Amino acid sequence: MNTFGHLFRITTWGESHGGAVGVVVDGCPPQIDLDISAIQFELDRRKPGQSHLTTPRQEGDAVEILSGLFEGKTLGTPISMLVWNKDARPAAYNHLKDLYRPSHADYTYQQKYGIRNWQGGGRASARETIGRVAAGAIAKQILCERSGTEVLAYVKQIHTLTADVDTDTVTLDAIEASPVRCPDPIVSPKMAERIDQARRDQDSLGGVIASVTRNVPVGLGEPVFDKLKADLAKAMMSLPATLGFQIGSGFEGTAMTGSEHNDAFYIEKEGEAGRVRTRTNNSGGTQGGISNGENIVFQVAFKPTATIGKPQQTVDVDGNEVTLEASGRHDPCVLVRAPAIVEAMAALVLTDHLLRQQAKS
């Protein structure tokens, strides 16, 4: 369904063209001084048109909060937020009414429901993530307030270009300083150039987002099906355009032996003296599905955007093979906007498990 989470639970709604898109956040603890500008900040990080590198569509994406707050504080009741759709130009999509765009959701929606909103992506549009990002911004505030937990994500790879970033020390400022949100000052301009080239080629690029969460309380995650890594994987793979998820050493770790891969425990002598730590973090911050207090590190693979300018072979709703001509504009690399979304989903998962863990105390 359109609901995610167990105790901290969001329900998103809305098509890309139509009245609005929004989210209901249920289970938010009461008495939190909600920083609404922090919600808008995240929406601005997510929105298209931030620079020439992203889509030229100008969306205001100003959030309205309709419930759940009283004198600036959360009531513990559902927080309803929405963003109005402003860029509705249905005519721009008329040529899509009768055909299925390759690697889009047009065909599967039509088969599943027997109907689809063919004006833009409809429910499958990336605009649906607005609700996730707004809700995630609330989750971030809870995490920060409760345990100083900070979630970050950045562009690790675009096309064949891979950044060299120290995950343990990367900062939000460093990420935001890069127009492609890649905090590697050498690779970042090359990525920008590659994206520009893709636009000129009427083509698109994919890549990898890396994420790190610091100051994670020990004990989050349920041991069997709702392992922290399982819920993170579901969260990320529920995003449009994702192809893969890996935690800790990931696919590369499969080529190591156990004696190389195991994370040896030791007792911290300085700082938080006496705390149990691991010398390596191949586990990526969880063991047995439960956080062990090390940084949670994972990566998400995004396919190259399905919308491109080049002509493509496809079929129409009547079963004819046809050519889809260029639509005139496209966003050659959505990864630049993805860090805010990945952070939001990670924050939602962690907040949910934080509340679940409280129930066990």
Q: Which of residues 241-260 bind a copy of itself (CB under 8 A)?
A: 242-251, 253-260
Query: Residues 95, 97, 112, 329: which binds a copy of itself (CB under 8 A)?
Result: 112
Rounded to a whole number of angstroms, the minimum distance from the CB of residue 210 to a copy of itself is 12
**Does 61 engage in binding with a copy of itself (CB under 8 A)?**
no
User: Is the CB of 21 or the CB of 174 nearer to a copy of itself?
Assistant: 21
**Does 343 engage in binding with a copy of itself (CB under 8 A)?**
no
Q: Crossing angle, helix 338-360 and helix 36-46, to 10 degrees?
A: 140
Q: Which stretch binds a copy of itself (CB under 8 A): 33-41, 179-187, 313-321, 336-344?
A: 313-321
- C-alpha Rg value of the chain to the nearest Å: 21
Residues 131-160 that bind a copy of itself (CB under 8 A): 157, 159-160
Q: How many CB atoms lie within 10 A of CB 13?
A: 15
Total residues at the site for a copy of itself (CB under 8 A)? 151
**Does 66 engage in binding with a copy of itself (CB under 8 A)?**
yes
Two tokens, residue 47: 């929105």
- Give the whole-angstrom CA distance, residue 246 versus residue 298: 6
Among residues 191, 48, 51, which one has the least CA distance to residue 126? 48
Residue with tokens 């063209």: 17
x/- contact string, 159-198, with a copy of itself (CB under 8 A)?
Answer: xx-------------------------------------x
User: Counting beta carbons within 10 angstroms of the beta carbon of residue 89, is it exposed (0 to 12), middle (13 to 18) or buried (19 or more)?
Assistant: exposed
Query: Residues 55, 149, 204, 351: which binds a copy of itself (CB under 8 A)?
Result: 204
Residues 82-111 that bind a copy of itself (CB under 8 A): 82, 100, 102-105, 107-109, 111
Q: How many CB atoms lie within 10 A of CB 279?
A: 9
Cα distances (angstroms) measured from residue 337 to each of 61, 133, 151, 214 = 14, 11, 16, 22
Q: Which stretch binds a copy of itself (CB under 8 A): 52-60, 133-141, 167-175, 273-281?
A: 273-281
The alpha carbon of residue 170 and the mean position of all alpha carbons in its chain are separated, in whole angstroms, by 18
